Amino acid sequence: MILRCFCLLLIFSPFALHAAAPEQAVVQIINFAQQPNWVEPWRSSRVAQYTGSGFVIEGERIMTNAHVVSWSKQILVRRYQDPKLYPAEIEYIGHDCDLAVLKVPDPAFYQGLEPLTIGTLPKVRTSVTTYGYPAGGQQISYTQGVISRIEVQRYAHIYNRSLLTVQTDAAINPGNSGGPALQGDLVVGVSFQGNPNLENAGFFIPPNIIRHFLKDIEDGSYDGFPDAGISTASLHNPAFRKALQLPDNNIGARIDMLLQPFPQTHERLRENDVILEVEGYQVGSDSMIQYEGNRMHVSILFDAVQDGESLDLVIWRDGQRLEIDLPVYKNKADRISGSQYDTSPLPHCRWDCFHRAQQQLLQCTRE
């Protein structure tokens, strides 16, 4: 009896160790999507197949990029080394941060899967491993690299939005999008974009942004990352600092513009106010702060709070320090019509669009 148990242990132990590997939670995503034509909104492109990656997180959900599942007609997911395809649905999607959460209705999909855990912001010069299903093959791919830079950069999915990103020299290719970047067994990012003008440079979305997204959807809806409606400018000029009655100590960024529509910002702030501190972080004359060993743009503090919450600011106005409480909100105004993902252009089409469509239809009928 003892010998039999020992034999079973030898047989099943390797399987148990293999099943616990992080790649078990990484999935391939196949999206059949149909994009509209914003120039001729009565037309649509053909349904095309796109592939990406994702990974299982707590709550029997799959995290991926928003651009992986945008304009979807049907989404299928495949588990690690499993031939079966499972239909999936978009539960929440955030185009401003390029993240999405999927749900697979079939409970059999989650059997034996251990969800991956979200870690913390990694350190520069530490190693990272990316998992995913990039172009060039059907099997899962692993690449390892070093984290070279952490800073605020533009997100390609909606180019008018800049959020915190992590740069690595690990290869991130088409199809890697949505896959996890891991240190040990902890997720330290979601792979999402590269830069064709740079060599050996890939980017992933850090845990700060991931946690903000997951916290946002806890109430059953996604509100998005808030804005304060502030544009800042560097304040290096000694003469300008003297005119503002500021000491020449390289502290403080000038507010050079207040944007619309943010009425509460206009009530509390003025142009040429100088931001000295945000949430206790000292703001340099270049609009940067020291954050977890990195010098980053102060906007990361505004991105850290949820829609409708407030930030504590210390500003300089007319030679005096003032403490203010500044609410931040999601700007729901449409800035770039082409960024209206998953929204049909037809409701926004003017009458002349329909008139042109009607004329083309009549011409085709005559021919």
Please tell me the pTM assigned to this model.
Answer: 0.86
Number of H helices, E strands in the chain: 7, 21
**Distance from CA of residue 260 to its chain's centroid?**
24
| 286 assigned to active site | no
**Strands 85-94 and 72-78: what pairing?**
antiparallel
- Scanning 248-336, the segments in alpha helix (DSSP H) are 263-268, 299-303
Q: Is 253 within 8 Å of 285 (Cβ atoms)?
A: yes
Pick out the chain residues at pLDDT < 50.
1-19, 334, 336-338, 350-355, 361-362, 364-367
Q: Per-residue pLDDT tens for 219-260?
A: 999 999 999 999 999 999 999 999 999 998 999 999 999 988
From the candidates 67, 95, 157, 297, give the one annotated as an active-site residue.
67
CA dist., res. 38 & res. 116, Å (int): 38
| 287 assigned to active site | no
pLDDT for residue 364: 47
Q: Per-residue pLDDT tens for 78-87?
A: 999 999 999 9
| All structural domains of the chain with their residue ranges | 117-219, 230-327
CA-nearest of 319, 328, 347 to 262 is 328
pLDDT for residue 360: 53
Residue 292 has phi, psi (to 5 degrees) of 50, 45
- Domain 230-327 of CATH type 3.50.50.60: no
From the candidates 53, 72, 95, 98, give the one annotated as an active-site residue.
98
Domain made up of 117-219: CATH architecture: Beta Barrel (2.40)
| 157 assigned to active site | no
From the candidates 72, 177, 287, 299, give the one annotated as an active-site residue.
177
